[in-house]
Structure 1
Amino acid sequence: MSAGWSWYVIALVVLNIFGCAWLLWWTSRRRPGDPAPEQTSHVWDGDLTEYNKPLPKWWINLFYLTIAFSIGYLIWYPGLGNFPGLGHWTSQSEQKHDAQVAAATLEKTFAPYQGQPIDVLARNPQALKLGKAIFGNNCAVCHGSAGKGAIGYPNLTDTIWHWGGSPDQILETIQHGREGVMPAWGKVLEGMGGPDAVDYVIAYVRQLGQQGGAPNDFAASRGKALYEGVCVACHGPEGKGNPAMGAPDLTDAYWLYGDSREALRETIRNGRHGVMPAWGEILGDTRTRLVAAYVWSLSHPNGSATTPESR
């Protein structure tokens, strides 16, 4: 707040306080010529008389006390422009204190789970309950309350993990985040195979993983050559993907951005850029371990330590 606005606020507050005090004094005193309390001359039905009695002194003094309290309040707490108040109270310091108290309480709650392995936590019902609550507060906005995901957001309840599905890999994903980039290959492919090159690659990709594994139509055979020239570096010669790069397996039935021809065209032609935020600094080690245990338990409902195939 600028100095000019600060003085404006101070003047406005002081004017209001003294205005209230003056109004109370002016209206409570008796002036010459005022009728006596029993002499207002307002009489009804012969014996009903209106009186002109002032407020009781204790009531008036109570009003003065509230004005004095407001002055003391504004001296101790900030309320007069840029004047910080003698108590130096701020909402930021109050919030910081409350946050420290809450953090200490949370630290006490999470202390028993500090440093424990993910698969061990996944077999602890209380740890899973805490992990589920953390997931609901932070992760559900993208992955859904049940972890089923959506278009562009992975399903966490199956055995398909683009960055690996071991407990340590899941923890690394949560703590450090992931950035998956699918380059835009439209112009490159069209330069190699003509205007239908993207559709050729789609035809081949759709046949990957099918029985026999070998394409037998013209479009897929053209797509195979284009795939081996461009896509094999990330997705591998058999289309099994590469968890170290986050390159998905193209032979399963899971498509992060949808399996329609339009969705696949968009993915290949214009690329995709998916970002999983890093939660390590926000939630800390213990809370990320708890949420990792909950996420891991979604695909390991029996708490088995056997890791599903990472794809």
Structure 2
Amino acid sequence: MSLFWSLWIMFLIVLNLGITLFLFLWAPRAKIPVRADGTSGHVWAHGVLREGVRPLPIWWVVLSASMFAIGFAYLALFPGFGSYKGILGWTAHGELAEHVAENNAKADQLLTRFRLYTPEQLSADPAAQHIGERLYRDNCAACHGRQGKGNVALGAPDLTDNDWLYGGDGKTITTSIHDGRQGVMPPWNSLGEDNVRNLAQYVLSLSDSPHDAAKAEAAKPLFATCAACHGPDGKGIQALGAPNLTDKIWLHGGTVADIEHSIGEGQHGQMPAWSPRLNDDQIHILAAYVLHLSHQDHDS
């Protein structure tokens, strides 16, 4: 704080306290003219109500004096009087640092225990779930939703359905969070609009969804191009992050228009790496919480 602002704050404090202290000391001694009956002469309701003049109650005087004493003591003990640091030398930064250190000491006890277990084991631990939920809401909920149901518009998968692009074991989930993922579906509009439409019908047929059987049959030979990633049976290849096309779970939407768009224009999804933001212990707990989300129905 500059000298000017320090002096300005000190001036305002002295001015306000000085005025209020003067009024406090002067008011009990002020002489107010009164009539013989002890009233000021102010009347209401045609004389039914009259204003009386009485000394201030002792409790009010004592309470007000106590507030002044507390105020002066506060200014002496704590910072607030300009740049004066106070007798105690207290600062908000110092108190925060103490609380952080205290919290870290408590957290280290839990983390030491958590390191002994796999994400699968931790997924059922209430303490790990509590910490994992906070980590999830702070870092993951923006894309995957507060309840982990995903977001089709963002291409963020549902984490509660136990359907995994890259695998659903603790080690793979940890890798996904730590390193991130890059998912690329190349555009196939070079096949022509009719073939794209036919392929969309064939993809729908893989999951027994309503489809045009004739168009699906016409596109069956074309699916050999897709099988390199999605597999000949359309069940996907997790090593590539290619989704299963047979389970009626759609990352970018499952309408005919959505599927045609995905085939024709392609898709590009990105899961950012969280290792620059979260440490290994936090990622370990977060992976356990994601596993918990995908097994809630089973756990309950």
**Kindly, what percent of the aligned residue pairs are identical?**
26
1:193 aligns with 2:191: yes
- Mapping 1:90-105, distance limit 5 Å: 90-105=91-106
CA distances 1:196-233 after superposition (whole Å, capped 9, x unpaired): 554244234334477xxxx98457645854872xx566
With over 3 angstroms needed to count, the CA separation of the structure-2 counterparts of 1:2 and 1:273, relative to structure 1, is farther
Specify which of 156, 180, 185 is matched with residue 178 of structure 1.
Answer: 180
In the comparison of the two structures, how many residue pairs are matched?
278
Aligned twin of 1:244: 239
Q: Which moved more, 1:280-289 or 1:108-117?
A: 280-289
Is the contact made by 1:198 and 1:265 (CA closer than 8 Å) also made in structure 2?
yes
- The answer to whether the 8 Å contact 1:200/1:219 transfers is yes
TM-superposed deviation, 1:75: 3.6
Are 1:128 and 2:125 counterparts? yes
> 1:128 corresponds to which letter in structure 2?
D
8 Å Cα contact 1:131/1:293 also seen in 2: no
Choose the corresponding residue for 1:166, options 161, 166, 169: 169
Match of 1:41 among 36, 43, 49: 36
Distance in 1 (CA, whole Å) between partners of 2:298 and 2:54 is 84
The one-letter amino acid paired with 2:68 is: I
Distance 1:67 1:264, change over 3 A: same
Give the unaligned 5+ runs of structure 1: 303-311
| Aligned-pair CA distance for 1:16 | 0.9
1:215-270: CA deviations, max 9, x gaps?
98457645854872xx5664456544332342212233221232112322443426
Tell me the residue number matched to 1:77.
78
> Could you say if the C-alpha distance between residues 91 and 172 of structure 1 is closer, same or farther in structure 2, counting changes exceeding 3 Å?
same
2:83 paired with 1:89: no
Corresponding residue SS for 2:109: helix
Determine the C-alpha separation between the residues in 2 that align with 1:67 and 1:204: 82
Q: CA deviation at 1:112?
A: 3.5
Deviation at 1:19?
Answer: 1.3
Q: Distance in 2 between matches of 1:116 and 1:4?
A: 58
**Of the candidates 183, 199, 202, which is equivalent to residue 200 of structure 2?**
202
- Distance change (3 Å), C-alpha of 1:10 and 1:270: farther
Counterpart Cα distance in 2 of 1:252 and 1:30: 88
2:279 to 278, 281, 284: 281
Q: Which amino acid aligns with 2:192?
A: G
The Cα shift of 1:273 comes to: 2.6
- Counterpart code for 2:113: P
Provide Cα deviations, 1:119-154, integer angstroms capped at 9, x if missing partner.
Answer: 4446xxxx4333443454444743564x55564443
| 1:138–1:75 Cα change, 3 Å | same
| Aligned match of 2:46 | none
Could you say if the C-alpha distance between residues 144 and 19 of structure 1 is closer, same or farther in structure 2, counting changes exceeding 3 Å? closer
Uncovered stretches (5+) of structure 2, i.e. residues with no partner = 40-49
Among 261, 267, 270, the residue aligned to 1:271: 267
Root-mean-square deviation (CA), in Å? 4.3
Secondary structure of 2:183 counterpart: strand
Give the TM-score of the pair, scaled to structure 2: 0.68
Mapped pair 1:26 → 2:26: yes
